[in-house]
Amino acid sequence: MEDAHEFDLLKIKSELGLNFYQQVKLVNFIRRQIHQCRCYGCHVKFKSKAELRTHMEEAKHTSLLPERKMWDQPEYYFPTYENDTLLCTLSDSESDLTAQEQNGNITIISEDISKLHALKQSSILNQLLLHESLKN
C-alpha cells in the first residue's frame, strides 16, 4: 500500500496510537470518500475516480489525513465494501505489528514428542477425563 499509494497505514497507526476500532473507522472513512470521488485530504469532490487520483497524486494528498473528528465517527464502523479484506488484516497488538515488520523471521521451536506416550499417560486432562467417565 505504501509503494502503490504512498500511504503507510502501519506508520499512521503507530504515530496516532490507533487501536483496532480506530483503524477500522479510518480505513472505512477513506474508502467511502474515495468511493464518492471525494479527496479525503481537502474534501473536494471530483467527477471521476481518475480525476480524483490525479489530484491526490499531484497535490500529495494521499498522505494528508483529515482531523480525527472527521473520521472517528460511529458511522465508519461499517465497511464501504462488503468482505473488505483490508479490514481483516488490521491488528490491535504491537507484537503483531512487529511480526509483520519482521516479515516472517520468526523462530519456531517444535515440542519434544519423544516421550509423547508417557506425557499422555500422566496428563492432568487425561486424568480428569478418566475421572469424569468413571462418575458417569
Tell me if 136 is assigned to some domain: no
Joined grid coordinates for residue 88: 481483516
Mean pLDDT of the chain: 77
pLDDT of residue 89 exceeding 80? no
Residue of 64, 62, 44, 52 whose CA lies nearest to 4: 62
Tell me if 85 is assigned to some domain: yes
Cα gap 134→94, rounded to integer Å: 46
Q: Which residues span the domain enclosing 17?
A: 2-102
Q: What is the pLDDT of residues 92-127, one digit of tens each?
A: 665 444 444 445 555 555 555 666 666 666 666 667
Tell me if 117 is assigned to some domain: no
Q: What is the pLDDT of residues 56-70, one digit of tens each?
A: 888 888 878 889 999
Q: What pLDDT is stored for residue 106 in this prediction?
A: 53
Q: What pLDDT is stored for residue 4 in this prediction?
A: 45
Domain count, the chain: 1
